[in-house]
Amino acid sequence: MNSVIYKPKGKAAEYGDWATNIYSGCEHNCSYCYVPGVLHKSPQEFHEVARVRKDYFERLERDIKRWQDRDTKPQVFLCFTCDPYQPIERVEQATRKTIKMLHDGGFTVNILTKNPMLAVRDLDLLTKKDKVGTTLTYSSENWERSLEEEPNAPLPHEREIGIAELWYHGIPTWVSLEPILSVQDAAKIIEETRPYVKTYKLGKLNYRKSDINWARATNELVSLLERLEKPYMVKEDLQKYI
């Protein structure tokens, strides 16, 4: 059986040195999702049905054992090809089990989700050595556009409430501004969330046409983050514009 803890390549490697993907498919049905293309699936096929990957926990247990004699264990990113807290997680609780298994094996986790409110459920597991981030593409006042682009994901204000709750309980938080769909909204998101977000990550919209001036957008957002003294990371596809 192939490993489920793996070393990401390409653009994914900018988010984490090691990762695991718990679910096959994602129910959030975001219009800009890059994963169906990467997995050579149609958007409908990818978003219609989500399930825990075949033999996932047996493979995870085997991978964890491979690291047991190493003094230092890495942080594992959850997840690149699915959302670890999509609706099915309320039933399956596969992400919760994954976190516990990784922690028991000496690993920490870095989570990216559009549903940090569900991540709050796992505060009894999460530690200050872990991280939880949320993807925000539209500000809370632009919820109608979010509903169009991300029809089955929580609305922006719900994500902000969730990430604030995690911050309040001492969990390091971050926001992924990738893909940037609106520069104005990205700036508003930063202003709205800065009291309870530690770090921001900026990423370009890919696999879809955009009329955004990326040089202007990158420098405008970086200037804002620096003025607010917020740590940030600019992904490689935008670094050339700084």
**Per-residue model confidence as pLDDT tens digits over 124-175:** 999 999 999 999 999 999 999 999 999 999 999 999 999 999 999 999 999 9
Cut 0.85: pTM above it: yes
CATH number of the domain within which 78 lies:
3.20.20.70
Residue 99 lies in a domain: yes
Which of the two residues, 34 and 200, has the higher pLDDT score?
200
Residue 2 lies in a domain: no
Q: With bands split at pLDDT 50, 70 and 90, how would you rate the model's confidence at 206?
A: confident
Q: With bands split at pLDDT 50, 70 and 90, how would you rate the model's confidence at 75?
A: very high
Residue 206 lies in a domain: yes
Total domain count, the chain:
1
Residue 4 lies in a domain: no
15-18 CB contacts, 8 Å cutoff, 24+ apart? 15/77, 15/80, 15/110, 15/112, 15/201, 16/75, 16/76, 16/77, 16/110, 17/74, 17/75, 18/74, 18/75, 18/76, 18/77
Residue 52 lies in a domain: yes
Full residue range of the structural domain in which residue 153 is found: 10-239
What pLDDT does residue 36 have? 86
Residue 1 lies in a domain: no
